């Protein structure tokens, strides 16, 4: 069974050595790739997990299908404190 890989982007430059050959490997910041859970644990402070594009398509949609009102909805309660200001006569 293949291990599940997560998409990541490197936020730091990473230098490491290959265990088998001893060659130095350098991964520049901004490089995108895939990592298993074990690799993520090793490089936790150097990478950021990228959410899959499929997750964004499943965002909830308003039932009416229209955008919310841009007025903010606070217009109904604007008159609440006006009576207290003039009661000091």
Q: What would the 3-class secondary structure string for the chain be?
A: CCCCCEEEEECCCEEEECCCCCCEEEECCCCEEEECHHHHHHCCCCEEECCCHHHHHCCCCCCCCCCCCCCCCHHHHCCCCHHHHCCCC
Using pLDDT thresholds of 50, 70 and 90, give the confidence band for residue 83.
Answer: low
| Sequence spans of domains, the chain | 1-51
Q: Which residue has the higher pLDDT, 2 or 73?
A: 2
Please state which CATH number belongs to domain 1-51.
3.40.5
pLDDT in tens, 2-50: 789 999 999 999 999 988 999 999 999 999 999 999 999 999 999 999 9
Is the pLDDT at 55 greater than 50? The verdict is: no
- Is the pTM higher than 0.75? The answer reads no
């Amino acid at each position: 069974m293949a291990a599940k890989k997560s998409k990541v982007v490197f936020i730091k430059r990473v230098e490491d050595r290959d265990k088998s050959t001893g060659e130095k490997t350098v991964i520049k910041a901004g490089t995108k790739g895939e990592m298993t859970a074990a690799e993520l644990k090793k490089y936790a402070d150097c990478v950021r997990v990228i959410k899959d594009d499929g997750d964004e398509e499943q965002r909830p949609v308003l039932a009416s299908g229209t955008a919310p009102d841009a007025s903010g909805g606070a217009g109904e309660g604007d008159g609440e404190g006006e009576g207290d200001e003039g009661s000091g006569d």
